[in-house]
Amino acid sequence: MNELIKKLEDANVGKVSQDEPLAKHTTMKIGGPADILVEPNSIEDLKKTVEIVKDSGLRWTAIGRGSNLLVMDEGIEGVVIKLSKGMDHLEENGEEITVGGGYSLVKLSTIMSRKGMAGLEFASGIPGSVGGAVYMNAGAHGSDMSQILKKALILFEDGTMEWLTCKEMEFSYRTSILQKRPGICLEAVLQLKQGDRESITEVMQKNKDYRKETQPWNHPCCGSVFRNPLPNYAGQLIESSGLKGHSIGGAQISDMHANFIVNTGDAKAKDVLDLIQLVKQTIKEKHDIDMETEVEMIGRENS
């Protein structure tokens, strides 16, 4: 492990940390340590990082801003690559923009709205990165990433990089091809449209206000925990089953929105997993519906 750290540091790929608590890098404030955490300076440095890690025989895992993510209490084995400041470039070419996978989705939607560019209004309250949003086809208010993505630069597990078109991304509800063929979005080309700045800003503010009024962002959480089993809605099913406000350890099903699990201060991943299991069992018994999680769960199994 020390030899690998030295190789990464000598290659000057970015910030390298050992036994870094991932609770510091997730919106839920939960997660054990990464054996090694690398925050690359650029796409080239990220590719170099993957090559060095592969040569060492260790596995690598990529994260963005840590939303929609539950990291296990035992942490993550091998190397965690975080897309952050070195991966947050933005280039504008008329109605087409090219943006790094580490760029904040909220920040991007705000900047574009101020320029009168339409298409990202749905993203005004989604607290993740562009790369993470592409990975899971993030969406809200009747739109999602599949509506604006032209193509994405993907780094696959074997270290190869490839541009995939929107069609090749195989988007569907909160999923993409990247769940089947693991990889990370390094860069995205988005197609926006010139619109009326006031109207766009008004829609964005309405979306922000709605989230503020209905979702518990004042507590550490990971966003929606379950996919909506349409035509039903996860939050309504959980609430009608009497689980709203239910707690296990430091984790609680939000009493504001039942499809959110919040960290009340000292929650462990195990507490969240136990709540998820309780919801699944209860909804199956009461409604005969199999609930699927939207949150991504990664790391060593809890002992």
The whole domain housing 81 covers 2-86
What pLDDT is attached to residue 140?
86
Mean predicted confidence (pLDDT) in 175-192: 94
Strand partners, 21: 33
Mean predicted confidence (pLDDT) in 233-257: 96
Mean predicted confidence (pLDDT) in 241-248: 96
Structure tokens at 44: 């080239």
Higher pLDDT, 125 or 97: 97
pLDDT bracket for residue 302 (50, 70, 90): low
What percentage of the chain carries pLDDT values higher than 90? 80
Domain with residue 202: its CATH number is 3.30.465.10
Mean predicted confidence (pLDDT) in 85-96: 92
What pLDDT is attached to residue 211?
83
What pLDDT is attached to residue 118?
95
Mean predicted confidence (pLDDT) in 191-209: 91
Do both 162 and 209 map to the same domain? yes
| Inside any domain, residue 289 | yes
Q: Are 250 and 271 in contact (CB under 8 A)?
A: yes
Do both 58 and 92 map to the same domain? no
| Res 125 pLDDT > 60 | yes
What pLDDT is attached to residue 159?
82
What pLDDT is attached to residue 196?
92
What pLDDT is attached to residue 301?
77
Do both 198 and 287 map to the same domain? no
Q: What is the rounded average pLDDT for all residues in the chain?
A: 93
Task: Please identify every residue annotated as catalytic.
Answer: 174, 224, 294
| Res 303 pLDDT > 60 | no
What pLDDT is attached to residue 2?
87
Mean predicted confidence (pLDDT) in 24-28: 95
| Inside any domain, residue 226 | no
Number of domains in the chain: 3
Domain boundary among 86, 108, 137: 86
